[in-house]
Structure 1
Amino acid sequence: MKSTTTPDTITLRVPFRVVKRGGRKEVQLPDGAPVQRKTDNTLIKALARAFRWKRMLESGEFTTIVELAEREGIAPSYMTRVLRLTLLAPDIVEAILEGRQGPAMTLGRLLEGFQVEWEAQQPSFHKVE
């Protein structure tokens, strides 16, 4: 005799929001939910470029930002804003590299400007997870 019972069905509801972050859509879970770390490759690439450019300027390979920007094929004003990323506090840089930065930490937000004193940066980017 063949059984005709159907398996039990379980309905699971998980509250979440879809938010735009760095030009991409991302699922945001409620507070208290386990968070999976996700690195922001755009932000990491910008950090790498900033520190590379800084090294090139400090070594004397290029004498001005204008000269380096021309070689890189970008606007000097953009290069200046990206170079400011080298002024981020080390713990903030580490959090970005490990994917622990808070949702307010996007490249667009950082390029708008931030305090250069490390202590003053902490409240702005307080949500380092």
Structure 2
Amino acid sequence: MTRVRLMTDTITVHVPFRLVKRGGRKEIVLPIGRPVPRNVNDTLVKALARAFRWKRMLESGEFGTISDLAQHEGIAAPYLTRVFRLAFLAPEVVEAILEGRQPPGLSLEVLRDQLPVDWLEQRASLGM
């Protein structure tokens, strides 16, 4: 016959975090002193995704002109053109937006304005 030995020592592990709902999903928020949670701007991420999708559609020859693409998407050509410019942002700017490291004042309205073509000038004008 074997004897069962009950463990009387209990180990308790305390992991400080909070669950926060953001945009329909749950995120773990770490306590102070931990890496800062990213502030991903869903509007900017969606606009970037659209811009790169539209660029791919035009480059593939699926649509011949921006007007054709705008008509297919059901939006105005000037709007498509302004958002389309985001496909030509500096790679560092795109990465910062996707990772939630963009400057606090950076919005879609700011990015839809005329930006310099040169990537160094873009980063400087956006404060990055």
Q: Tell me the TM-score normalised to structure 1 length.
A: 0.69
Higher Cα radius of gyration: 2
- Pairwise CA distance, 1:43: 0.4
- Pairwise CA distance, 1:87: 1.1
- Pairwise CA distance, 1:35: 4.6
Q: Which runs of 5+ in 1 are unaligned?
A: 1-33
Counterpart residue type for residue 55 of structure 2: K
Q: Which runs of 5+ in 2 are unaligned?
A: 1-34
Structure 2: distance between partners of 1:109 and 1:64: 25
Structure 1: distance between partners of 2:108 and 2:92: 17
- Pairwise CA distance, 1:51: 0.3
Give the superposed CA RMSD: 1.3
Structure 1: distance between partners of 2:45 and 2:51: 10
Query: How many residue pairs get matched?
Result: 94
User: Residue 46 of structure 1 corresponds to which residue in structure 2?
Assistant: 47
- Pairwise CA distance, 1:95: 0.2
* Equivalence map 1:56-67=2 (5 Å): 56-67=57-68
**Per-residue displacement from partner, 1:18-73 (whole Å, max 9, x unpaired)?**
xxxxxxxxxxxxxxxx8532100000000000000000000000000000000100
User: Residue 12 of structure 2 corresponds to which residue in structure 1?
Assistant: none
* Runs of 4+ in structure 1 over 6 Å off: none
Structure 1: distance between partners of 2:116 and 2:57: 24
Quick check: 1:82 aligned with 2:83?
A: yes
Structure 2: distance between partners of 1:58 and 1:121: 24
Structure 2: distance between partners of 1:80 and 1:63: 14
Q: Tell me the TM-score normalised to structure 2 length.
A: 0.70
Counterpart residue type for residue 57 of structure 2: M
Between the two proteins, what is the percent identity of the paired residues?
60
User: Residue 15 of structure 2 corresponds to which residue in structure 1?
Assistant: none
